[in-house]
Structure 1
Amino acid sequence: MTLPAETETRSAPAAASGGPGAAARARAARLERRLGVPRTGGPAGRCAAGTRHLPPTGIEALLAEEGIAGEFVPAEHGGRLVRADLLARVLRPVFRHDAALGRDLTSLLAAGAVWAAGDPWQRHDVARLLLTGGRIAVVHRGPVRAGAPPHGEITARRVPGGYRLDGRAPVTGGALPAGLHLVHARTGAPDGPGGHSVLLVDPAGRNAGTIRRLPGARGDALEFRDRFVPRGALVGREGDGVVLALRALQVEHAVLCAGLTAAGDAALHHAVRTATAGSPGRIAPRRHRPLAGVFADLLACRAVTTAALRALSLLPSAAHLLAAAVRYVVPGLLRPGLEELVTVLGAHAHGADGPGHGAPGGLTRALSAAESGHTGAAACRSVLVAHLRNLAERSWFTEPEPPPALFAPGAGLPPLDHAALAVAGGGDFMAACLVGCARRLAAPGAAGGRTAVLAELLVAELRALATRCRRLPATVSTPAALVLADRYGLLVCAAAVLRAREAQDGAGPFPADPAWAELALSRIVERLGLPVPGPPDDVRERLVEELLHRHRDDGGLPDAAATAP
């Protein structure tokens, strides 16, 4: 094997002006056209939305033709990955069309272990594979249950010249054959801190032993039997597996939740289209509350996922906690909204042609998958629980706010550096945002109105949460701690809403309108069970008006691509 001076790539050059952001927008627009997700108005565009049903293999072939895997390869290795927020922008059309496929694509982010710690040969091999249309299958440990061994695990025992792999474990990476396997295998003691390592395995290599793919009702698995891999397959150092996985998962969590939010946008569009059928430009008053409420939840999800995506570049030493919070709270916000949409849609919940693009059913299935597994909602909730006491004692009400670029629309950011992503420490800059926004809204002459009242309630909740978290045991998770993690996740989301609203530059009338933030915060406060009257009717009416405007003038997609709301 030779290492060329330049990796051959399929990536297109950045747009002539506007840098990587403009190039990402152009690629997203092309995908929208090819997948049948319209951006322009007109009867043809509106009719096309939700009616193009490509089979999964057909969609994967289309994405391969577009070189979608190149989006997951850093630009320095010949691909198009510059920042996580720009990757999420490109993947939005995929999630709108097929949320489950979009979720499956995010498994390619596991290659972040190679970008973070792989040697030059490994990086070259992964980049070349993805840039020429190949795929990577990720083999990870099965779900861990209390008091039981992992449900599926690969062991790697040292032998002269390398390792021998045995066992079976879940695999992700799509239906197409994989050119490389990124295997998380046990190389040490079961309970040791360095018990896992990452190995890059070539399934076509002529080595001893076998690799078999085993189909299953809950997902496929790979089985290794006495499979030899050379020492050079080890990514990073032996025992680095957990740290490398946690680095890659930060990016995967944020991108996945941004995609699920985009799929929620499509489901909301489906509901608006149904609600206006037969009466263009008008929605029955009885549907205002659920539609406006779901819209507000989606805007809150967009605000917090955008913060997480941008923090990966701007604050890599502290982004891990926000990524875990987003992974936990976003599916929890989306699912009740989908239930509300089903109530609005009734018999139209699956669309005229079955459960296709835009219908809530597909997103519900993707959410179910996203909430399960070894990196699902429960695992991320556990991450939050582990940090609560330390945050209450050392971070909340003392940490400074993050740089303005974290929320400023269009502000430049450093490139994503996988190796710089920390997996512990760093404090909680989102709590600092909540406190800072509340203080500015309450300042003389600020005209904070009802938003200021809600912000102050939320800060009081953070104080109460801090008192309760300081009483938590240092090492043992309790049912009370799980409840506190739930409340903390909602406060993180509220902080993102407040800061995103504050950062609007006046480029559009709706982002600068306090109505969307007021309704989003009201729904968060309601979920927290805090005593506060509901928002006035004119707040909901403003969001319904915006929904109708987007449905009419932007091809029916209720998604503000340029800003958080």
Structure 2
Amino acid sequence: MTVIGTAAAGALNAAGAPSRRAAAGERAAALESYLGDPADFTNPLGHEALLAADARGELSGEGERLLGRFHLNAEFVPRRLGGRFDGPEGLVRVLRPVFRRDASLAIGYGLSSFLAAVTSWLEGAPEQQRATADLLLRGERMAVAHPELAHGNDLARDEFRATDTGTRLVLDGTKRAINNVARARALTVYARTSPAPGRRSHSVLLLDTEEIPAARLTHLPRHPTTGARGLYFHGISFNELPVARSALVGEVGQGMELALRSFQISRGVMPSTAIAMIDTCLRTAVRCADERGRASGSGIDMRNAQQVLAAALADLLLCDSLCLAATRAVNLLPEQTGVYAAAAEYLVPKVLGETAYDLSIILGSSLYDQRGPYGIFAKQVRDLPVVSLGHAGSAACQATIIPQLPLLADRAWFDAEPAPAGLFDIGGSLPQLHLEALRPAAGEDALAASLVATARERPGASAGGAAAHRLAEGFLRELCSLRARISRAGAADRTPVVVAEMSALTDRYTHVLAAASCLGVWRQQQRASPGGFLAEPAWVVTALARIAGRLGGVPGLTDHAELAAPHEERLATEVVARYRDPRGYDLYGAALAG
């Protein structure tokens, strides 16, 4: 097993679990070392073994045992209740080593439990929170049945109903595809408690599966999936199950509010973990180019690969910048988190999918390998839609943003306070988590305000700094254009044409937030680590130019591609350097086991 430095080794106790005092970066490094080199064919948690488990439609048994010894479930429990969770950014860092190898293992062993537990952390009674924490810390699992709005772990979009009799609730209904429901000790159930539409239509119940009479619960057959084939999606059907009112999480009718508040956490976490999957795709593409070059005696042929590799790294850093803002905002700007998390969940999977497609060109016919050194590429591409759609599709994310856009455009972009520098401080310290501060709707937009402030500053003296400033000014003009178009659309009748226009404007707005995040990270790195790669203009200019290209250009800027061209070689060189001396292709650039 590869050991990544003494800090990683020292973060584990004799039983193989990290100390609660260990920082998230130390815990992530320890788990990366613990999992070993994924390219090692003899590693029971390497790509070859995980591909074999996926082909059988199973989770890796060795992987689940290792994550149990690591006490991964403690990452899902707040520190005040004995766990290690103190914010989404730290959780993401610890989960990425698992997602680099197998999304099914990461979700199936534990992340599904986190998604189920979040509602208890938000609004559960003290005894519910204690019971949930104890259950997870014992290594047991939870499952969640989201309302139809989100169809998070509910691929079939059916629902439960709970009838209020005054003294208790009676639960009925069927859901055909809920991840881990057959293996869960506890269920978080969103059930319809009112036939009327609207935000008071659903309530949340926390159920102990061992207390449910067999006659009241029917387990349905497994629901196979094309991607993430190791996940255990099953259905369940309740038949007039009496439920005590003490099982309610929050109040009757509070379900939709709790769903929206929980999404402010999970919508940032899910796309952020998916970045590690495309990290593996990029690493596999470089390996393919390297091995073919070695076979021909010429090394990596950068003439054919340079543009694709440079673009892939820029895209991963672009995605990670937006996800960094979305996850750190939970601690720093909890009232504004909902929009940023929805933007990340909407945009990042799209960009990652495009990146994987472009990288497939390097693999050529090896793209179709199901086993061997390149088989992991196809698996990660196959699993990505399950991870990105497993919690909320793009339409649901747009539905979160669209109602808030008119107010944000009118009041929150051009005269508001910019985001604190800590929002872009990679792995930096954070204030204590206050989940009660999360709100379904935001009245401010500090991230967009940061873009405005950056664009209004004087440009840097270097050519790269000047190019970054020109791009920032272009996105400022895009923001001005968005405000005018949103104002016109908001004043019009709500016709299908107007709805389509607002969807298109929301798409452009999420790209602007991504640009603002990239600029924020770059400027913070210039202050914190002026000699590092992320303080250089190469990646931020390329990332901004690629965002502009995805929008079909931004006002007053037609040469965005030409601005990025001089930086292509620098980015490709960084890709190869992080392959030779294995480091992550994300903002953290942490050492890897292989």
Say yes or no: TM over 0.5.
Answer: yes
Q: Deviations over 1:91-131 (max 9, x none)?
A: 00111111244345433233111111111211111111111
C-alpha separation between the residues in 2 aligned to 1:364 and 1:204? 37
Match for residue 532 of structure 1?
A: 559
C-alpha separation between the residues in 1 aligned to 2:86 and 2:258? 19
Of 370, 378, 391, 2:408 maps to 391
1:100-139 maps to which residues of 2 (within 5 A)?
100-104=104-108, 105-107=110-112, 108-139=114-145
Contact 1:318–1:422, Cα closer than 8 Å, also in 2: yes
Does residue 165 of the first structure (1) align with residue 161 of the second (2)?
A: no
* Paired amino acid for 2:500: P
Of 547, 553, 565, 2:575 maps to 547
Match for residue 276 of structure 1?
A: 290
Contact 1:135–1:176, Cα closer than 8 Å, also in 2: no
* Paired amino acid for 2:200: G
Match for residue 474 of structure 2?
A: 457
Does residue 82 of the first structure (1) align with residue 86 of the second (2)?
A: yes
Match for residue 6 of structure 2?
A: none
Question: Which has the higher relative contact order, 1 or 2, with Cα contacts under 8 A spaced 6 or more apart?
Answer: 1
- The 3 A distance-change label for structure 1 pair 517 and 29 is same
Does residue 298 of the first structure (1) align with residue 316 of the second (2)?
A: yes
- More deviation, 306-315/56-65: 56-65
Match for residue 56 of structure 2?
A: none
Q: Deviations over 1:327-371 (max 9, x none)?
A: 101001111111101111112225572597741x23323332244
- The 3 A distance-change label for structure 1 pair 511 and 47 is farther
Contact 1:142–1:170, Cα closer than 8 Å, also in 2: no
C-alpha separation between the residues in 2 aligned to 1:57 and 1:447? 47
Match for residue 4 of structure 2?
A: none
- The 3 A distance-change label for structure 1 pair 533 and 446 is closer
- More deviation, 326-335/150-159: 150-159
C-alpha separation between the residues in 2 aligned to 1:154 and 1:514? 52
More helix per residue: 1 or 2?
A: 2
SS of the aligned residue for 2:210 comes to coil
Contact 1:85–1:310, Cα closer than 8 Å, also in 2: yes
Contact 2:292–2:300, Cα closer than 8 Å, also in 1: no
- The 3 A distance-change label for structure 1 pair 423 and 143 is closer
Of 260, 284, 307, 1:289 maps to 307
Match for residue 513 of structure 2?
A: 492
SS of the aligned residue for 2:293 comes to coil
Of 495, 499, 515, 1:478 maps to 499
Give the unaligned 5+ runs of structure 2. Answer: 1-14, 54-58, 226-232
Report the Cα offset of residue 431 of structure 1: 1.0
Match for residue 228 of structure 1?
A: 242
Of 357, 366, 375, 1:339 maps to 357
SS of the aligned residue for 1:543 comes to helix
Of 281, 303, 307, 1:267 maps to 281
C-alpha separation between the residues in 1 aligned to 2:91 and 2:271? 12
C-alpha separation between the residues in 2 aligned to 1:445 and 1:261? 31
Match for residue 517 of structure 1?
A: 540
C-alpha separation between the residues in 1 aligned to 2:538 and 2:462? 19
C-alpha separation between the residues in 2 aligned to 1:456 and 1:307? 21
Report the Cα offset of residue 527 of structure 1: 0.8
- The 3 A distance-change label for structure 1 pair 227 and 356 is farther
The sequence identity of aligned pairs, in percent, is: 35
- The 3 A distance-change label for structure 1 pair 479 and 352 is closer
Match for residue 217 of structure 2?
A: 211
- More deviation, 270-279/98-107: 98-107
Of 585, 588, 593, 1:558 maps to 585
Does residue 197 of the first structure (1) align with residue 218 of the second (2)?
A: no
C-alpha separation between the residues in 1 aligned to 2:427 and 2:65? 33
Does residue 30 of the first structure (1) align with residue 27 of the second (2)?
A: no
Match for residue 312 of structure 1?
A: 330
Give the unaligned 5+ runs of structure 1. Answer: 1-8, 16-21
- The 3 A distance-change label for structure 1 pair 134 and 356 is farther
- More deviation, 208-217/322-331: 208-217
1:181-196 maps to which residues of 2 (within 5 A)?
181-196=187-202
Q: What TM-score does the superposition give when structure 1 sets the normalisation length? A: 0.88
Match for residue 248 of structure 1?
A: 262
Match for residue 5 of structure 1?
A: none
* Paired amino acid for 1:34: Y
- More deviation, 483-492/403-412: 403-412
Q: Deviations over 1:448-478 (max 9, x none)?
A: 3211111111111111111101112368461
Contact 1:268–1:358, Cα closer than 8 Å, also in 2: no
- The 3 A distance-change label for structure 1 pair 183 and 144 is closer
C-alpha separation between the residues in 2 aligned to 1:381 and 1:550? 35
- The 3 A distance-change label for structure 1 pair 443 and 431 is same
- The 3 A distance-change label for structure 1 pair 10 and 506 is closer
